[in-house]
Amino acid sequence: MERFSVPATSAVSLSDPFFAPRVEANRTATIPACLRFCEETHRLESFDLKWKDGDKWYPHIYWDSDVAKVVEGMARELARRPDPALAERLDAVARRIVAAQQPDGYLNTHFTQVEPEKRWSNLHECHELYCAGHLIEAAVAHFEATGERFFLDAMRRYADCIAKTFGRKRGQKRGYPGHEELELALCRLADATGERKYLDLAAYFVDERGRKPNYYVKKEGWQEGRLTYLQAHEPPREQREAVGHAVRWAYLCCGMADVAAATGDAGLFDACRAMWENATGRRMLVTGGIGTTREGEAFERDFKLGNLTAYAESCAAIGLALFSRRMHEITGEGRYLDVLERALYNGIPSGISLSGDRFFYQNPLASNADSPYDRERQSWFSCSCCPTNFARFWPQAAQLCWALSPGEVRLCVPAASELKLENGLCLKVESRYPYDGKVAVRVSGDARPAGTSAGAQARSAARSLAPFALSLRIPDWCPKFSLAVNGKRVAAKAKDGFVSIERLWKPGDEVALDLAMPVRVLRAHDAVEADAGRIALQRGPLVYALESVDNGPGLHRISIPAKQAFRLVRAKGLPRGTVAIAGKAFETTRPGDALYSAAAPRTRLRRFVAIPYALWQNRGLSEMQVWTRES
């Protein structure tokens, strides 16, 4: 079923003004900060198995996952850019993890030391299988980056231990993860090892979930009415809505999509498609955030999308982006990349500072003195799933820009980047995206090695010639575009969100794509009560927000006319090249100090400035709003 795949980490690189600095900050700041806090909070120490009753700390049920995500980030970073010091540290941490493995293959620092008698007894809330999934993902990334097998082999033994424990045979538990993640990790393990049994185990966990009698209710005493929180109220292949804890949902959908792609299970894929459509068409914020209520970090009903109260956990936006990438790989449809891009440029980067060492757990669409969430990013959280998730996400950013299949190369996100193909050709994207829609893709070949003869160079160049389709995505926000190959205009129509040029590509070829990038005035569906009478601004993939740093306090008093000539201006105090939107607005006040008054309001014409939402709260404490009253 799967049609496309992402290129290897080592085959791609970024040089754009938006993501490349964040990827570098991840290397220099995010990973070191996460490692430091894992040391200071005893997360790493817990793998030494020296904890004893009476210590001032104890290994928490989800700590293993935090360490695993940092290790995965280190491995992905090492694959992206060789670094001897990082390689040495990665090796030390990986060996520290493996040393905690038990003789039967089990590996969990909490249940090995704190509650050994309760192993596998509380799947619905104790994160045992969730931690196992992240450890497996870390091991696969470590193997791919280093070629060493000790970590991978240890996690194979752990997966075998899990397979022995869970299943439908006599004496096995019919349980499944309370917090999904293991499903997708087992698919990655199957790919890395070539062993089908891990894919089969992933399929079991997907198919067993939600069956009657319900395992969580019958065996663990979980409340029947709360099963939707865990997506366990019915079998996943029968589900059609995005419900419950948003991160759990996104990870489950990733695992379902992986199993569907590997097995050709059309019914499972249909469930993925239906849930994706419900989530993105009825329950997603304009920034690509999902899980809008703090109560359970969960989805709400259709169109209930608040602003000040929007939860939108950083991990959930990452999960939605990774799910959408998988859906594109299976179908080739550009609409899935439209959502990936929305999260990639808005709901994900808003969760981390430009410096790379401060984080938002929640990403609301408005913030003021009464905000129910943090108004400034924090250096760490007691539950630090989001900081550690960034550590492993940013090294993947370049891979998300491209997709490969036999005979086709797709530019999914036209950020300035470079892709090295196996045939020796190199595709280099030059652009200022997301601030400009002019994109150039230049084809080059491998440089001639020192001492190579002219004849050998010519033979090498001849081998580099390869006919394939180069497809460029036309985003859903783009009203028109133009395309040229080697300076000659090409008439092309987009199909499934892409335009394709198939030819015998050779060094020196160049494709020019010009995406119109006007300021768009967005209005929400009329069932979204929170946004009635309000507008949001978007240019290219970027959703914009007003911040009091530019506009002064009292943003609620500002209204913006939708019909006006918006101007593009330099954003003050933000990275060079950041484009802000400026225009005219009205500010309404009411004279007098009385709480209620019949006095007529006063309105004055003023100027407003909006910056990319992803960059808010990088210039100090500030009010912010995405949706502004329309005048």
- DSSP annotation string for 584-611: EEEEEE--SS-SS--PPPEEEEEEEEEE
Q: Which of 297, 300, 430, 547 is catalytic?
A: 297
Q: Cα dist. 288→253, 390, 527 in Å?
A: 16, 16, 18
Active site residue 161: no
Number of neighbours of residue 75 by Cβ within 10 angstroms: 28
Q: Has residue 441 been placed in a domain? A: yes
Q: Are residues 508 and 527 in the same domain?
A: no
Q: 430 and 343 in one domain?
A: no
Under a CB-based contact definition with an 8 Å cutoff, are residues 618 and 605 in contact? no
What is the number of structural domains in the chain?
Answer: 3
Backbone angles phi, psi at 221, to 5 degrees: 70, 20
Report the alpha-carbon distance of residue 581 to residue 615 in Å, rounded.
13
Question: Could you tell me if residue 148 is inside a domain?
Answer: no
- pLDDT of 24: 98
Query: Is 468 in the same domain as 559?
Result: no
Structure tokens at 615: 């960059």
- Whether residue 55 is contained in a domain is answered as no
Do you find a cis peptide bond into 434, omega within 30 degrees of 0? yes
Is 328 contained in some domain?
yes
Residue in the block written with tokens 């019919």: 174
Whether 539 contacts 517, CB under 8 Å: yes
Reading phi first (left if > 0) and then psi (alpha if -120 to 50, else beta), residue 22 is in alpha
- Identify whether residues 338 and 427 lie together within a single domain: no
* Closest by Cα among 153, 194, 152, 51 to 111: 51
Residues 607 and 565 in one domain: yes
Nearest residue to 30 (alpha-carbon basis) of 340, 411, 377, 322: 377
Q: Do residues 343 and 423 share a domain?
A: no
CB 516 within 8 A of CB 478: yes
Same domain (yes/no): 533, 490:
no
Task: Give the chain's radius of gyration (CA, Å).
Answer: 25
For residue 320, tell me if it sits in a domain.
yes
Within 10 Å of residue 32's Cβ, how many Cβ atoms?
17
Q: Are residues 605 and 531 in the same domain?
A: yes
Last residue of a domain, one of 515, 549, 567: 515
Kindly report the CATH number assigned to the domain that includes residue 510: 2.60.40.1180
Residues of the chain with pLDDT under 70: 1-2, 446-466
Q: 414 and 499 share a domain?
A: yes
In a domain, 479, yes or no: yes
Domain that holds residue 577: 519-630
Instruction: Identify whether residues 507 and 545 lie together within a single domain.
Output: no
Q: What is the spatial distance between Cα 69 and Cα 393, in angstroms, rounded to a whole number?
A: 9
| Per-residue pLDDT reduced to its tens digit, 133-161 | 999 999 999 999 999 999 999 999 999 99
Is 351 domain-assigned? yes
Token pair for 208: 């067993």
Q: Are strands 519-522 and 534-539 parallel, antiparallel or unpaired?
A: antiparallel
Q: State the pTM of this model.
A: 0.96
Same-domain status, 460 and 492: yes
Write down the pLDDT at residue 388: 98
Predicted pLDDT of residue 461: 47
pLDDT at 454: 45
pLDDT for position 446: 61
CA distance 557 to 480: 35
Q: Is residue 463 part of a domain?
A: yes
Lateral strand order in the sheet of 402-405: 402-405, 408-411, 466-473, 498-505
- What local confidence, expressed as pLDDT, does residue 1 receive? 60
Domain boundary residue, one of 515, 542, 561: 515
Structure tokens at 475: 């985003």
Sheet of 12-14: strands edge to edge? 12-14, 417-420, 426-431, 438-444, 510-515, 481-485, 488-490
Answer with the one of 515, 541, 556 that is the final residue of a domain.
515
Sign of the CA dihedral 530, 533, 534, 540?
Answer: positive
Judge whether 253 counts as a catalytic residue.
Answer: no
pLDDT at residue 124 in the model: 97
Catalytic residue among 131, 253, 272, 385: 385
Task: Examine the domain organization and report whether 539 and 464 are in the same domain.
Answer: no
